[in-house]
Amino acid sequence: MTMLRAALVALALALSAATATAQSRINVETTAGAAGASMFAAKAEGFFEKRGLDVNITLVNLMPNFPPALVAGSEDVAFMVTTTFFQAVDGGIDLVAFVGGSAISHRVKDTAVVAYTGAGLSNAQDFIGRKVGVPGIGATLQVMFRYWLMQNNVDYEKVNFVEVSFPTMRDTLAAKSVDAVVGTDPFIAQIVNTGIGYLAVVLNPSLPEGKPLVMYTSTRTWAASHQKEVAASRAAIVEGAAFATANPDKTRDDINVYAKLPPAIMKTIEIGDQIPELDPESLGWWVDVMKRQHMLSGNPIDVSRLIVK
């Protein structure tokens, strides 16, 4: 009996080891914003795990750091904003996108310019000569704000932009080191609900709906050599997107595993439209906007080659 028990224990350990080995580990870098709702839900609700994926999520404060991390191999996948992605591609880095995250939606106010209380900023002219913090020079949020300024006949070069990471936006604004920040939930909700700032401009209504704000990206080499992981990740994100739409309160809890905000504030954040499907037309819109803002070299970009199905 002793030998039988020992054999059963050994078998159980072997099966456990085999199960662990079957899990493909993927290192993903992201920010803690609500734009990644489908990913945070997929992680917390076990949608990755049931597809044989061990997803390790690392928070990185500034988006421009993402492409170098992918090239260096320190991360496998980056939940990257569209503009950082296209700048990297334009610079010669061979990246691809395989599934989308949050997209522009007119129904939510989760992407906005928040000014410190008493700053007196409301219209486009007010921002001339003022200092505005963005999560990265060239990041999507800066591009969206510059687009809004251009739509309102203000030269965006008359605004002073500085980099301010998401986690430090509240303190930077409280210290009045900047006049405003361009952010997204849960960070703008934290600033507004603590009385440090107010919504000066809600950006979403000024842009066309459905355009992807963030995407799950990798190097082309990694995607080609990990096709099963890419397909499984896509399926998990699709399920996560459906879960986030149907269960916003639980999804807020899933996001807050990483955002670590007071629960009362986390309950106030909006979860934007999660649209996993990527199409060349929607991505091409960003390329055109970036060209008008002189962010790309002018060399042609074949958007259809950048989407992995």
What pLDDT score does 22 carry? 67
Boundary-marking domain end, from 172, 206, 240: 206
pLDDT, residue 2, reads 53
Residues 145 and 197 in one domain: yes
In a domain, 32, yes or no: yes
Q: Are strands 197-202 and 53-59 parallel, antiparallel or unpaired?
A: unpaired
pLDDT averages per 10-residue partition of the chain, 309 residues: 49 47 86 85 97 94 85 95 94 97 89 95 96 90 95 96 93 97 89 94 92 95 97 97 96 91 84 93 95 91 94
- Residue 282 is assigned to a structural domain of this protein: yes
Q: Which residues of 79-110 are buried (b: 16+ CB within 10 A; e: fewer)?
A: bbbbbbbbbbbbeeeebbbbbbbbbbbeebbb
Based on the fold, state whether residues 217 and 289 are members of the same structural domain.
yes
Q: Are 293 and 143 in contact (CB under 8 A)?
A: yes
Domain presence at residue 2: no
Within a domain: 77: yes
What's the pLDDT score for residue 136?
Answer: 84
Please report the pLDDT score of residue 5 as a whole number. Answer: 55
From 206, 240, 272, the end of a domain falls on 206
Total domain count for the chain?
2
Residue 1 belongs to some domain of the structure:
no
Please answer whether residues 135 and 79 qualify as being in contact, where contact means their C-beta atoms are separated by less than 8 angstroms. Answer: no
Beta-carbon contacts of 157 under 8 Å, excluding residues fewer than 6 positions away, are none
Question: At which of 144, 174, 206 does a domain end?
Answer: 206
159 neighbors 132 (Cβ within 8 angstroms): yes
φ/ψ region of 223 (left if φ > 0, alpha if ψ in -120 to 50, else beta) reads alpha
- Cβ atoms of 114 and 197 within 8 Å: the answer is yes
38: domain CATH number is: 3.40.190.10
The pLDDT assigned to 9 comes to 46
Q: Which domain holds residue 178?
A: 111-206
Same-domain pairing of 118 and 259: no
Whether residue 94 is found in the same domain as residue 123: no
Q: Domain for residue 6, yes or no?
A: no
Residue 199: how many other CB atoms lie within 10 Å: 14
Gap between the Cα atoms of 230 and 3, Å rounded: 44
Q: Looking at the structure, do residues 97 and 124 belong to the same domain, yes or no?
A: no
CA-to-CA dists, residue 194 to 4, 112, 116, 269, angstroms: 63, 16, 11, 13
Residue 20 has what pLDDT?
Answer: 45
Q: Are 160 and 113 in contact (CB under 8 A)?
A: no
Going by their DSSP bridges, the two strands 131-134 and 77-81 should be labelled as unpaired
Q: Does 15 fall in a domain?
A: no
Residue 56 has a CB neighbour count (10 Å cut-off) of 13
